[in-house]
Amino acid sequence: MATVTTTPSGRWEAVEHLVTSLRGGDVRALARAISLVENDAPAAAAVLSACFPYTGQALRIGLTGAPGSGKSTLVDRLAAYYRAEQETVGIVAVDPTSPFTGGAILGDRIRMQSHHADPGLYIRSMATRGFLGGLASTTADIASVVEASGKTRLLIETVGVGQDEVDIVRLADVTVVVLVPGLGDDVQSIKAGILEIADIFVVNKSDREGADRVEREIRAMQSLGGHGKGWVPPVVRTVATTGEGTAALAEAIDRCVDSFRKAGKLEEKRTAAWQARLVEMIRQKLVRELVRHRLGRAELESHARAVAARQEDPYRLVDGLVRGLLDLHRDDGSV
């Protein structure tokens, strides 16, 4: 495995080597590059910069649904379908790892080891515990590294239970929302808000009772408007455990992408996604600069202690700290 050293020139050489290796099909180099990005290592920006020219061509498909909706099995089916079509596939599965749902996706992934011998398929699960912000942006970055390894289809899978997960699928070209009959309103009440993010609805486990009702509810929501002219999200029925409906889903995705491309909406979506990512990248870099130049961990903790004891007003403190960062740079010109 390539080691990434910390000396500036050595680091760049190692990154070049790493990216050349992962582009040549070295799975361990790919895993290493992803880890650098996931852990926000010093070399992360260099890795992403080196991968960037090889991205932007793959189709990014986001899939989200409640726990228990059979999403992972569906993703496996779709991946197998694309492989049969000679497409190469990367799967990035975001595992919210909350105390309540922790590890569900990772567990599913063990099953996927059956694909392990296929060099045209790469699977990566991301844990999110303790993640410091920017989860959606980092997921998109990791998908870019996977794409740079030569994948033409990127399947980005999340458990759709929080804003983070919604943000993640929003960065995709096409968003698939997976519903199932009979999960109960507590877990999966179909809300108007779902219209905003879904480009395609899947009713999975559609051999179960209640599939008609789920589809009817989606149609009823759609009739209330919201989407206006253009693409109307279709409802695709699947039974992921048997593979039924996989081809219909793949076809719906193709039609959706065609429609978006013709209407200029694909470019629009990708621009909006980059806008969100740029803001997040700027945010992270600014905070890092502040901490590096002005505010050590110990100092931050001492401020926090003073604030907790009501000796310092945090709102004025932050104002002063931010001014401080800007002044520092006026004084010594360092960046």
Site for a copy of itself in 81-140 (CB under 8 A): 96-104, 128-129, 131, 133, 135
Give me the least distance between CB of 322 and a copy of itself, in Å please.
5
Which amino acid belongs to residue 214? V
**Closest of 155, 143, 201, 199 to residue 61, by C-alpha:** 155
Alpha-carbon span 55 to 33, nearest angstrom: 15
Residue with Cβ nearer a copy of itself (60 or 77) = 60
Residue with Cβ nearer a copy of itself (103 or 234) = 103
Residue with Cβ nearer a copy of itself (118 or 267) = 267
Tell which one of 3, 110, 228, 315 touches a copy of itself (CB under 8 A): 315
| Cα-based distances in Å from 261 to 28, 236, 254 | 35, 21, 10
Alpha-carbon span 51 to 43, nearest angstrom: 12
Tell which one of 9, 53, 110, 209 touches a copy of itself (CB under 8 A): 53
Tell which one of 41, 45, 80, 247 touches a copy of itself (CB under 8 A): 45
Q: Does 287 bind a copy of itself (CB under 8 A)?
A: yes
Distance of CA 238 to the CA centre of its chain: 24
Q: Does 300 bind a copy of itself (CB under 8 A)?
A: yes
Distance of CA 306 to the CA centre of its chain: 38
183, 57 contact by CB (below 8 A): no
Of residues 200 through 259, those in contact with a copy of itself by CB under 8 A are: none
Q: Establish how many alpha carbons lie within 13 A of residue 61's alpha carbon, considering only the half-sphere containing its beta carbon.
A: 29
Tell which one of 186, 209, 225, 228 touches a copy of itself (CB under 8 A): 186
Give me the least distance between CB of 169 and a copy of itself, in Å please.
10
Stretch that binds a copy of itself, among 73-81, 207-215, 224-232, 317-325 (CB under 8 A): 317-325
Tell which one of 41, 52, 83, 227 touches a copy of itself (CB under 8 A): 52
**Closest of 106, 147, 135 to residue 19, by C-alpha:** 147
User: What's the alpha-carbon Rg for the chain, to the nearest Å?
Assistant: 22
Residue with Cβ nearer a copy of itself (229 or 310) = 310
DSSP character string of 168-214? HHHTSSEEEEEE-TTS-HHHH---TTHHHH-SEEEE-STTSTTHHHH
- If binding means CB under 8 A, how many residues of this protein chain bind a copy of itself? 87
Residue with Cβ nearer a copy of itself (15 or 252) = 15
Residue with Cβ nearer a copy of itself (61 or 121) = 61
Of residues 146 through 185, those in contact with a copy of itself by CB under 8 A are: 160-166, 177
Give me the least distance between CB of 251 and a copy of itself, in Å please.
24
Residue with Cβ nearer a copy of itself (97 or 246) = 97
Q: How many residues does the chain have?
A: 335
Q: Is 89 in a helix, a strand, or coil?
A: strand
Using alpha carbons only, what angle is made at residue 305 by residues 299 and 309, rounded to the nearest 5 degrees?
145
